[in-house]
Amino acid sequence: EEDSLSPFIRLQEKKKQARLMQKALEVKEEDFRERMKVITCRWRDLHAKEAQLKTYMEKSGRILKENDKMRIQALTKAIKERERKMQKKTELLRAKRELEALRNKHQKLCNKVQKYSIFNKYLEDVVKISHFEEIQEVIWRYKTLLRMHKDLLQSQQAHKEMSEQAKVLLDQYTAEKEAEILQYKNELVQLQLRFDQAQSDVLPWETSWADIQNTTAKKTLKLGTIKMAIFNLFQ
């Protein structure tokens, strides 16, 4: 009987274990479904957050690009502003130097005016005792005379240069002609020597020519005599 009950008991135990396992499985399944719901909710939240993050990143990227663009524009504007300020400073410094130079020039002119004021008084006295009516006429007359004097000096200098050039040319021409005259004198001496030599050579030739003429006359006379003799014999 115990042997017959043992399988039944084991079967019941197995069924009980199966029910416990089924119940545990159902609990786990329920727990899994709950966890899946939680995970699904989290997944949806993650998708939503991912979409929000993507939107935020895109927006941040646009903002960064705009910020970079604005920063570059601001930097460019700052550089241009700095360059403009430097240019203004340079122009201001140059203007200060020019102003200082003008002040110095003005001071020098004032000093000259103060120094030359006695000449103005002198010119006023000149106008009083001369036929001029204004100081400016005296100055114009002085400038005219000064210009004429300058032209006269230039003309004298030009004539002096022309005279010097003419003198140089005359010296060159004289030297050339003296060289030619010396050459002609040398040639004349050579010709005179040749003429004297020719005259000394002509005398023997003249003597020889006289001898030849005498011989020729004698031969001619002898030939005439022979011709007469032959003619007489022929007669």
Burial category of 161 from C-beta neighbours within 10 Å (exposed 0-12, middle 13-18, buried 19 and up): exposed
The CA distance from 184 to 178, in Å, is 10
The CA distance from 190 to 8, in Å, is 181
| Continuous H helices in the chain | 2-115, 117-129, 135-234
Amino acid found at 30: E
Q: 136, 121 in Cβ contact below 8 A?
A: no
> Which tokens sit at 21?
């396992």
Q: 185, 193 in Cβ contact below 8 A?
A: no
Amino acid found at 88: K
Q: What average pLDDT does range 156-174 have in this prediction?
A: 89
Non-local CB neighbours of 40 within 8 Å, separated by 6+ positions: none
The CA distance from 227 to 172, in Å, is 76
Percent pLDDT > 70 in the chain is 94
User: Has residue 138 got a pLDDT over 50?
Assistant: yes
User: Has residue 2 got a pLDDT over 50?
Assistant: no
> Which tokens sit at 89?
């400073």
More confident residue, 62 or 152: 152
* Average pLDDT for the chain: 81
N- to C-terminal Cα distance for the chain? Answer: 233
Q: What average pLDDT does range 134-163 have in this prediction?
A: 86
User: Has residue 230 got a pLDDT over 70?
Assistant: yes
Structure confidence at residue 1 (pLDDT): 44
Q: How big is the chain, counted in residues?
A: 235
Place of tokens 């009516």: 133
Reported as a single tens digit per residue, the pLDDT across 95-107 is 888 888 888 888 8
Coil vs helix vs strand at 1: coil
Q: What average pLDDT does range 66-73 have in this prediction?
A: 80
Phi/psi of residue 134, nearest 5 degrees: -135, 160
Where residue 7 falls among pLDDT bands split at 50, 70, 90?
low
